[in-house]
Amino acid sequence: MPCEGCVGAVKRVLGKMQGVESFDVDLKEQKVTVKGNVEPEAVLQTVSKTGKKTSFWGADEAETAKA
C-alpha cells in the first residue's frame, strides 16, 4: 500500500465486510490488522479485490527463509 488512496480502498472494503468489528491499516509497515468474527481467507479475498497483494503475516518471511 504505497499511498493514502490505497489505504482508503482497503478501508472501504473492510468497512463493508460483515463480521469486521475493527481494523487498523499501517501504511508504514504495509500491514492490516482485522478484528471480528470473520474467516481469515475471506479477509484476504476481500482486500485482494482492491488490487493489492495480500498474504498472512509471516508468509513472505517464511518463503524468504526457505530460499
pLDDT value at 67 more than 70:
no
- Count how many domains the chain has: 1
**pTM assigned to the model:** 0.72
d(CA 60, CA 56) in angstroms, rounded, equals: 8
> Each residue of 18-63: pLDDT tens digit?
999 999 999 888 899 999 999 999 999 999 999 888 899 875 554 4
Tell me which residue of 32, 27, 25 sits closest to 57, measured CA to CA. Answer: 32
CA angle 50, 64, 57 (to 5 degrees): 45
Host domain of residue 35: 4-66
Q: What CATH number corresponds to the domain at position 22?
A: 3.30.70.100
C-alpha cell at 65: 527463509
